[in-house]
Every structure is written in C-alpha cells, then in structure tokens.
Structure 1
Amino acid sequence: MTAAWTAASTPAPVPAPRTVLEAFLPLRGEVGLDLVYDTANAVGLDDQPVRLTIRRLVAAGDVEQRGRGRAATVRWTAAGRERIERDRLALRLVRAQDAGAAPWDGRWHLLAVSVEEPARSVRDALRRSLLAAGAAAVSTGLHVSTHDLSALLGATDRRHLVLATADSLEVRGLADPLALAEQLWPAAPVDRAYDALAAALARPPAPDPLVQQLRLADALERSLRDDPLLPHELRPRPWRPAQLRRRWYEAWGALAEQLGERALYRGWLET
C-alpha cells in the first residue's frame, strides 16, 4: 500500500475553527458570518466551535462582531491586524526562501532574555514567544535564530531582550553551520510534520474550490506550525518540505485564479 494511496483514501482532517475564521477575514473590511459558517459546515465543523472561537477572539481584543448569529459580521481590530501581519511575515519569508529570493547571509542572531526575577511570568512568556518564532535555546536565557526576529516581537518584548549578531557561532563544541543547525533544529521532526501537507496534496480535490482552498490552508498551517523556517543552505538537499510547498503554491495559485475575489487569504504570498 503506497503512501499516496493511503492519503487519498483517508478523509481530510477537519480544520481548526480559528483557521476557518482567519481564512475569510480581510485585512481591511469585514466578512459576513453566514459565509464563514456555511464553509465551516462544509468541511465538517458545527456552528458551535466556530461561535466559541469568535467569542474568544472578541474577548482577546483581536476581532469585533457586529450583529448576531449568521447575519452578523466580523472584522479585525487594530491589535488583531497587527498580530495577523506578524503571521504573514513568516509565510512571506518561507515563500521568498523557496523562490531563492532570501539566501542566508551567514549571520546568527542572538537574543538574551533580561528580566528581573520577580517578573518571572514575563520572562517565561518571552521565552515561549522566542521558541514559537523559531529561535533555539542555547543556554539559560540565551536563544539563537538564523533570522532577525525583531519584526515578530512587540515593543514590550524588545525591552526585555539584549540583541546581537555574530558571523560565527560555537555551541558545545559545534561550529560548522550545518552541524549546528541539525543540533539546534533537527530536520527529521520538521520533515515529518509535512506529512500533513503531502497527504492534502495527494487527496482528490474537493468539488467546491473554496473548500479545497480551506483544506490546503489548514494542511500548510499544520506543517508550518513547528517549522523554524531555516534558510535552505542549512537543510539537507533535497529538502522535502520545500518541494511540497512548491507543489502547494501551484495548487493554491490555480484555485485562487479560479475563485477570483472569493479566494481565501488574498495577498498572503507576495514576497
């Protein structure tokens, strides 16, 4: 039994309610919840989890809702727009890397957390944010990244960081960049995470192109979730995640052309 046959015969995972909502929300303007709920239903989600997600995002100050039920509309707040713009930076980075437009400059970016002991919760939250942004911990309070993460960090976070760059780095006796990358960001678990994307690309497309786009968006999000997005120079060649993403871009572009103004996540892939 081949992996492609297994993927094609396995039902597509149900996207997260948050993925469904964010897929429809334009950066400016609003979207009607009737369209959000109808498409969520089409991919296997009931109204209730979508409704709860909207409530959480409203409570967090990321979106605002006008009206009630399916007749309501939602839009980003300024805070929500800032957060989603940071998410788009990561997607644009990987798109540029895959297109060969963002080669590694050979520099390591060091981030040291500098927080007073009484503010332990601030320190712990900042460390989680750095790990989520793809940085790796190399010692207590010190993280390293192959990218400048300043655009992904808010002004509050930057006040608690000491930032530096280096042209060379040695960690526990390792100085070769490829060996360091494998030590700090092992390739195998990142590669395995892209099984979700491989499966989505192998399944027969959904009859509704909007549903198919949503499934592809969910598969890419699942695969990218724990990917530190290292430059290609620091990964094995060929790098399967990059190959799968290129196939994804082609499939996504064809669907976007078919859907026109109805396409999801318009503008996310510009480099």
Structure 2
Amino acid sequence: MITTRLLVHAMVREDGTVDADELYTIAGALGMTDQQVRLCIKRLVAEGRFTHEGRGRRAVLRTTADITGAIAPETGYVRYAYRQDRGEAPWDGTWHLLAFAIPESARAARDSLRDTILRLGAAAIQGGLYVTANPVAPHVEAAARQLGVLGSLTVLTTRDLRLGEHRDPATLAARLWPLDDIAERYDRLAALARAGLDRLGDTAPLAETDQLVIALELAAEFTDAMNPDPLLPPELLPQPWSGTHARHLAALCWTRLLERGPEATGGARPRLFRLYADVIREAAHP
C-alpha cells in the first residue's frame, strides 16, 4: 500500500524537487484526497525533510536529502537477489553465525546491532545468537565498530548446524524463516507486475500519469516483498521459488517503463527511476 508520505518521497525528481501539481494529480489517481496530501506536506516540512515554496498546486517542494530509499531497497541488495536468480551466487554449504552479549547499560547499541543483523536477513536461534546463509559478517562488524561494541561481537561459521534433531539445510531454513509469508508477498508482486505488463503492452497510448501510477505501485509492492526476504540461496528454498518468478516479472515491467523514458513523456523522471534503471536492465537482459 502506498501512503501519502511514501508518495511524496517517490515523486522527488533528479533536481531534488517535487512539483505539487503533479503530486496532487498522482495522489488523486491513487485515491488520495487533496487534504491528505496537504497534511502530509505540512508534516514533512515541520520535520525538516522538505522546504516549501509557493501555494497550492503551484507550489514546489525541495528535499533536504535524498530520501528515495524510502520506497526502494538498496540497489546492491537487489543486484544480489537477481544474481541468485541467475544461478550466479551458489551456496557453499556454510552457515554464518553471529552472537553478542551487550549489557543493559548499552541498550541502544544492543538494539541497533540486533536490528542491523535482522535487516541483513539473519534469523534468531536463541537469545543473542543469529544465523544466516550469506556472508554478512563484514557488514555486522562495521556496524558494531561504529556503535563501539565490536568487542562484544562473536562471528563464526559452521557446515554442521543442528536444531534439535533437524540438520537438513532446507528443513532448517523452513523452520528459521517465514518462507510461506515471504512467498505470499512475492505472489502479490507477481500479480501486480503481470497487470502492469498487460497495460504497458496495450496498443493504446498510456498517459504519463498512468505510467507513474504503475511505477509507484510496483515499487511499493517490490519493497514490501524484498524487505523481509533474507535472500536465502536457492538450495535452501522450495522450488520453483515465488521470489524468482516475481522478480523476473517486475524486471520486465520496469524495463517497459524505463524504455518509455523522460524523452518519451516530455518530463523529468523521479529519482526512483534512476535508482532502478541499471540494476533492472541488468536483470531483464543480463
């Protein structure tokens, strides 16, 4: 689902501005009211995320930072997912374990390190002990160093992981990660991408507003599917895997959108398009 805040973030153009008239038009196409947009703009300005020049639909918003990431996963993460889909990142059978024991006096650092580990796709085995199939230790160590708790972090690897009586890697993955829930998110992404491809493949011309709506809905659904995905190697996933199929359809849909480009519509594209352009073209045509 696209919120008004997410919409404003996604509409930031290459020069860091948001055209209010275009914003209200796209919001209307998504079923949002002008009042919702006005209140959202007011909050974003009050938070210092945007400055505001002009009034109503003639206004221009200017971002104080590149916040495109609010609606899109980090490009390196997306690239790695598509490398897995192409069979370019096979699993070597190694499990990567991360453990820490940080006292209550450093609770903020402890919570931040835990969030970093979970965001990188690791699963909790028990208190303070996490596991993943991907070599994320350098990223975790960098975060721990920045937080000043590197001395409390333990990193190790094993090829013999057992949980109770279970040691089969695919069985362990199914027990540690919510694969059914992740697959359902990807099924929704696949359905949306398929619908977008149908609209983009129609012989009738598609207005720029309609193209942007397709792009924003696709980006939001893509983020919703990717963010909780630990990007487990294909060897650990049910086959065929919903994520592979959905990402393929999403790449095709993005490619169709990108082919139309700003020169085809006469306007500058949001940063969102630049963020996806290279990685999606690679995925669709490796």
The TM-score range, normalised by the shorter chain, is: 0.7 to 0.9
Query: What is the root-mean-square deviation in Å for CA atoms of aligned residues?
Result: 3.3
Q: Is the 8 A contact 1:135 1:144 kept in 2?
A: yes
Q: Structure 2 residue aligned with 1:162, among 122, 128, 153?
A: 153
| Superposition map of 1:100-115 within 5 A | 100-115=87-102
Larger radius of gyration: 2
Q: Structure 1 residue aligned with 2:184, among 183, 188, 192?
A: 192
- 1:158 CA drift (Å): 7.0
- 1:228 CA drift (Å): 1.6
1:267 and 2:267 matched: no
Q: Structure 2 residue aligned with 1:180, among 172, 176, 182?
A: 172
Q: Distance in 2 between matches of 1:132 and 1:76?
A: 26
Q: Summarize the Cα distance change of 1:119–1:159 in structure 2 as closer, same or farther, 3 Å threshold.
A: closer
TM value normalised by structure 2 = 0.73
Deviations 1:148-204 (A, max 9, x none): 444487453473561524141414233332222112114212111223213313435
Q: Structure 1 residue aligned with 2:15, among 20, 29, 32?
A: 29
| Superposition map of 1:1-271 within 5 A | 14-25=1-12, 29-34=15-20, 35-50=22-37, 63-67=49-53, 69=55, 70=57, 71-75=59-63, 77=65, 87-149=74-136, 150-151=138-139, 154=143, 156-157=146-147, 159=149, 162-173=153-164, 174-203=166-195, 205=199, 207=206, 208-260=210-262, 262=269, 264-268=272-276, 270=279
Q: Is the 8 A contact 2:122 2:132 kept in 1?
A: yes
Identity of aligned residues (%): 33
Q: Summarize the Cα distance change of 1:239–1:110 in structure 2 as closer, same or farther, 3 Å threshold.
A: same
Give the gaps of 5 or more residues in structure 2: 201-205, 263-267
Q: Summarize the Cα distance change of 1:257–1:123 in structure 2 as closer, same or farther, 3 Å threshold.
A: same
Q: Distance in 1 between matches of 2:69 and 2:63?
A: 13
Q: Distance in 2 between matches of 1:89 and 1:50?
A: 32
Q: Distance in 2 between matches of 1:16 and 1:182?
A: 32
Q: Is the 8 A contact 1:64 1:75 kept in 2?
A: yes
Q: Distance in 2 between matches of 1:238 and 1:124?
A: 36
TM value normalised by structure 1 = 0.76
Give the gaps of 5 or more residues in structure 1: 1-13
Q: What SS does the aligned partner of 1:259 have?
A: helix
Counterpart of 2:269 in structure 1: which amino acid? R
Q: Distance in 2 between matches of 1:60 and 1:233?
A: 45
Q: Summarize the Cα distance change of 1:117–1:23 in structure 2 as closer, same or farther, 3 Å threshold.
A: same
Q: Is the 8 A contact 1:18 1:53 kept in 2?
A: yes
Q: Distance in 2 between matches of 1:100 and 1:36?
A: 40
Q: What number of residue pairs does the alignment pair up?
A: 255
After TM superposition, the structure 1 stretch with the greater mean CA deviation from structure 2, 183-192 or 100-109, is 100-109
Counterpart of 1:135 in structure 2: which amino acid? A
- 1:57 CA drift (Å): 5.7
- 1:90 CA drift (Å): 2.3
Q: Distance in 2 between matches of 1:259 and 1:266?
A: 10
- 1:262 CA drift (Å): 2.4
Q: What SS does the aligned partner of 2:99 have?
A: strand
After TM superposition, the structure 1 stretch with the greater mean CA deviation from structure 2, 201-210 or 87-96, is 201-210
Q: Summarize the Cα distance change of 1:167–1:55 in structure 2 as closer, same or farther, 3 Å threshold.
A: farther
Deviations 1:50-90 (A, max 9, x none): 555556666767x4425355522333527x58988973332
- 1:250 CA drift (Å): 0.6
Q: What SS does the aligned partner of 1:238 have?
A: coil
